[in-house]
Chains A and B, each alone.
Chain A
Amino acid sequence: MFTSTELDIIWLTIKVALVSTAVSLPISVLLGWIFARKNITCKPLLEGLVALPLVAPPVVTGYLLLLLLGRNGWIGRWLDQTLDIQLAFNFAALVIASVVVSLPLAVRTIRSAFELVDPVYEKASHTLGASKRSTFFRVTLPMAMPGIVSGMILSFARSLGEFGATITLAGNIIGKTQTLSLMVYANMQVPDKEMEVARLVIISLLISLAAIIASEYLKRRNSYLSK
């Protein structure tokens, strides 16, 4: 049904989406909670920084990331020379581009979920003897779970379709950094590849549809739990 190249690309795309969702989960939960509950001085700046990839053209985001993390970038050079770590044009670059671009969506959703948890529940937990930490893990987090799940699904779906930042930071290297979207784009440039493009488009749609169905299922399960 699928060619082995297609299967490799589907697997790589899903792997990138899964890994980047896993990486962004703790970051977006932490940021969402800080934005919803804490009054820190640099909050507006931090909020702006996190939201930037949502409004900035993805290519610009990718370019900035390349400036920062590329071999000759401000951080990339140091990482390369001292720790022998490269963060551009490889799997790590795919993940980083996905995380940065999908983070604002996840943080927004998770922040709203935390804001929906009435702080009196947390106060009630404190009066029952629980510390702030304990309250977070036993009350706040489980009550915000439907929103966290939605945020993660959104983040996953955004990663699946990520193009601009990815192509800039990770390139379009066949067998290494070429994901579904990148392959669709590459095949569109070649004459007589319409059939391949159509197949890839259908695969993309199917994966997205599966993600939406999974999201709805998890949302229903979780909202039943929390009501």
Chain B
Amino acid sequence: MKLELKNITHRLGLNSFSYNTTITNDITGIYGPSGAGKTTLLNCIAGIEKPLSGSIVFNDKTLFHHDEGINTPVNKRNLGVVFQDNYLFPHLTILQNLNYSKPYIKNRTRYIDFDKVVSLLGIEDLLTKKPNQLSGGEKQRVAIGRTLLSQPELLLFDEPFSNLDRRKRKQIISYLLKINHQFKIPLLIISHDLEDILKLTNHLLIINNGCIEAAGDYLNISEEGHVPDIICHKRYINIFEAYCSGFDVHEKQVSFSASPSSHNKLHLSQSTSMLQNNIQLGQRIRLCLHPDDIALANNRVEGVSIQNQLKGRITQIISSRGSHYVTVDCGFVLVAEVTQAAVKTLQLELGQTVYCLIKAKAIEVVHSYIS
């Protein structure tokens, strides 16, 4: 997919916005503080707002071109939008909500099957109910389903997690990854929560004060040294992918490595919620780990309960606002947060070999990809 926004400008009251970027990734997260202009960007792409200048081209189809007078109406853009408050039509049943777009999709090239959507989102039992009989998470799933069934070429999400608790967020993240994987639809997700976005993707568009402050891979943005201020205010989060490389039936553990040849292995308990459903050898999973859950040691430590001790080399030490972030390449690139005293005591420096000590419980499995 390729979404090009060239010199888009817009004005709402006293706020002005300008966007200039090209999005090519399957999943892109749009991150920024409240009022930064994330929703305005989404509205411009969807056609809900008409920009003052510039052009928007999606997969070689011009959706908007100010100078050429092109402005494809919202209902002809073929882009699906899932709104923050889901906006299910209250006078219709869930089934009628899901089938709402049926009369309008005759000419669309994509075909997503009704039964597949309903079973993927687990909403089979809700079809005869009315939206007011559903919980927040259920409503969100139905809204996603309704948008999917309009056979869109791109899915836009406006703060899909804002009204959900932690458990429901995790569930929706997993659904979004499944949708992207199963239906091959690119996703554009707006959130003011960096952790939620990073659980979905490393590709970020960082918006602040009405313009795009940075774009690209999260690790690159962070490593380039000019980490945007808004990211610095948040804590860094390790998001990485690993492959299932073995099972220990006696210890009820599953091992993961960064690549099939890597010696460094992470061991997770089989009881971890996402691993319960028959994980297979070679299966890819997405993991999340907070930097302060990683301890560093100069040597392997014996006689501790921590089972995961990954040997690696320090590739970077960043000091920011009183915190010290040490990047260690141990197959996975992990960032550990340590104190000034620890940097001194361990005499940490670039190129040094260290061990990353990680408690299995601290690792969160965000998603397991279907192979």
Residues of A within 8 A of B (CB): 118, 120-121, 123-131, 134, 138-139, 142-143, 145, 225-227
Interface centre among A124, A125, A145, by most chain B C-beta atoms within 10 angstroms, is A124
What would 13 more interface pairs be, CB under 8 Å, given A120-B83, A130-B100? A118-B87, A120-B85, A121-B87, A126-B75, A127-B48, A127-B74, A127-B147, A128-B101, A129-B75, A130-B104, A131-B75, A134-B104, A143-B89
Contacts of A127 in B (CB 8 A): 46, 48, 74-75, 77, 79-81, 147, 150
State the CA gap A97–B90 with chains docked (Å).
37
Residue of B nearest to A129 (CB): B104
Query: Of residues A120, A127, A134, which shows the largest number of chain B Cβ atoms within 10 Å of its Cβ?
Result: A127
B85-107 toward A: CB 8 Å interface, digit per residue (1/0)? 10101110000000011011100
- Residue from A121, A126, A225, A227 within 8 A of B74 (CB atoms): A126
B132 CB within 8 Å of chain A: yes
Residues in A with CB closer than 8 Å to B132 are: 227
In the complex the two chains form, is B87's CB within 8 Å of A128's CB? no
Q: When the two chains form their complex, are residues A225 and B81 in contact, meaning their CB atoms are under 8 A apart?
A: no
Q: List 29 A-B contacts (CB under 8 A).
A: A118-B87, A121-B89, A123-B74, A123-B81, A123-B83, A124-B81, A124-B83, A125-B100, A127-B46, A127-B74, A127-B75, A128-B101, A128-B146, A128-B147, A128-B150, A129-B78, A129-B101, A129-B103, A129-B105, A129-B150, A130-B75, A130-B103, A134-B103, A134-B104, A143-B89, A143-B91, A145-B91, A226-B90, A226-B91
Q: Which residues of A sit under 8 angstroms from B75, Cβ to Cβ?
A: 126-131
Decide: A128 near B83, CB < 8 A? Known: A226-B90, A227-B90. Answer: no
Give CA–CA (A177, B149) in the complex, Å: 57
Q: Which 9 A-B pairs have the closest CB atoms?
A: A129-B104, A126-B74, A128-B101, A127-B81, A124-B87, A142-B91, A128-B150, A126-B75, A129-B101
Q: Which of B78, B91, B103, B150 contacts A225 (CB 8 A)?
A: B91
In the bound complex, do residue A130 and residue B101 qualify as a contact, i.e. CB atoms below 8 Å apart?
Answer: yes
Q: How far is the CB of B3 from chain A (nearest CB, A)?
A: 16
Shortest B57–chain A CB gap in Å is: 19
- Would you give the shortest CB distance from B259 to chain A, in whole angstroms? 41
Residues 89-131 of B contacting A (Cβ, < 8 Å): 89-91, 100-101, 103-105, 130
Q: How far is the CA of A31 from the CA of B130 in the complex (A)?
A: 30
- B87's nearest neighbour on chain A, judged by CB, is A124
Report whether A139 and B89 are in contact in the complex, using a CB–CB cutoff of 8 Å. yes
In the complex, what distance in Å separates the CA atom of A126 from the CA atom of B147?
11
CA distance A138 to B99 in the complex (A): 12
- The CA-CA distance from A226 to B130 in the complex, in Å, is 9
Among B48, B78, B81, B87, find the residue whose CB has the most chain A CB atoms closer than 10 A: B87
Question: What's the nearest-Cβ distance from chain A to residue B108, in Å?
Answer: 8
- A181→B302 CA distance, assembly (Å): 100
Distance between A225 CB and nearest chain B CB, rounded to angstroms: 6
Check A128 against B100 for contact (C-beta < 8 Å).
yes
Closest CB in chain B relative to A106 CB, distance in Å: 21
Chain A neighbourhood of B46, CB < 8 A: 127
CB distance from A39 to the nearest CB of B (A): 15
Least Cβ–Cβ distance between B20 and chain A, in angstroms: 24
| Nearest-CB residue, chain A, relative to B88 | A124
- Which chain A residue lies CB-closest to B104? A129
Q: How far is the CA of A130 from the CA of B78 in the complex (A)?
A: 11
In the bound complex, how far is the Cα of B246 from the Cα of A199, in angstroms? 93
Cβ–Cβ contact A120 & B146, under 8 A: no
Residue of A nearest to B132 (CB): A227
| Residue of B91, B103, B130, B150 ringed by the most chain A CB atoms within 10 A | B91
Residues of B with C-beta under 8 A to A130: 75, 100-101, 103-104
Question: What chain A residues lie within 8 Å of B105 (beta carbons)?
Answer: 129
Q: Considering the chains assembled together, what is the distance between the CA atoms of A48 and B103 in angstroms?
A: 40
Q: Closest chain A residue to B106 by CB distance?
A: A129
- Beyond A128-B147, A130-B104, A227-B132, whether A143 also contacts B83 by CB under 8 A is no
Query: How long is the Cα–Cα vector from A127 to B87 in the complex, in angstroms?
Result: 12
Chain B residue, CB-CB nearest to A127:
B81
Please name all residues of chain B whose beta carbon is closer than 8 Å to the beta carbon of A142 when the two chains form the complex: 91
Closest Cβ neighbor of B77 among chain A residues: A127
CB-CB < 8 A to A123: which residues of B?
48, 74, 81, 83
Query: Chain A nearest CB: distance from B88 CB in Å?
Result: 8
- Is A128 in contact with B104, judged by CB distance below 8 angstroms? yes
Question: With the chains together, A129 CA to B81 CA distance in Å?
Answer: 11
Q: Which residues of A contact B73 (CB under 8 A)?
A: 126
Residues of B within 8 A of A138 (CB): 100
Q: Which residue of B lies closest to A126 (CB)?
A: B74
Please encode chain B, from 269 to 306, with 1 for each CB lying within 8 Å of some chain A CB and 0 for all others: 00000000000000000000000000000000000000
A143 and B90 form a contact (CB under 8 A): yes
B185 CB, min distance to chain A CBs, angstroms: 14
Residues of chain B within 8 A (CB-CB) of A126 are 47-48, 73-75
Contacts of B77 in A (CB 8 A): 127
Query: Which residues of chain A come closer than 8 Å to B80, judged between CB atoms?
Result: 127-128
Separation of A125 and B75 alpha carbons in the complex (Å) = 8
Q: CA A225 – CA B89 in complex, angstroms? A: 11
Report Cα–Cα, A145/B89, bound state, in Å. Answer: 13
Inter-chain contacts of A139 with B (CB < 8 A): 89
